[in-house]
Structure 1
Amino acid sequence: MLLPWLILIPFIGGFLCWQTERFGVKVPRWIALITMGLTLALGLQLWLQGGYSLTQSAGIPQWQSEFVLPWIRVLASLSIWRSTGCRC
């Protein structure tokens, strides 16, 4: 669940910075600093959790961290179903 937050935190922070421009120049800067600090902390946590080395133990390349949602498989099966030419 860490990988989606690495995308969502800067996106939400950018949106908040855009919305708080009317309150002054300093408010968006502080929001940007806080959101980038959170992103840095999450990145460091991901780096410390992973066992990064130069060689793979089994020799099979794998992602260090991944995020899988079940609806992605549903969309993939729909695209395969449509590409087969089924007219149901």
Structure 2
Amino acid sequence: MEQTLMLDAERPLALVHGRPVGLTPLEWRVARRLADEDGRAVTRAEIARLIGGEAGDASDNAVAVHLYNLRRKLGRDVIETIRGRGFRLKR
């Protein structure tokens, strides 16, 4: 079954099949960044900077954990891995 994802930046709110999904502030930040790229890949390094914030880039493991959690909450197939380039939301 195809996932229907909507991100409402004004609230902030994530909906999957019309149902609200609770995201942490960091998960929200990553989801919004992926959505803002409109199908273009976001590199692992960019995601590491988003997650790390002022403390510096997050580890590869932290990036993997956040992407895993987002996939679990939004749908396994919603975030696509583009080998050698990064990650994007499927259209």
TM-score by length of 1: 0.29
TM-score by length of 2: 0.29
- Structure ranking higher in helix proportion: 1
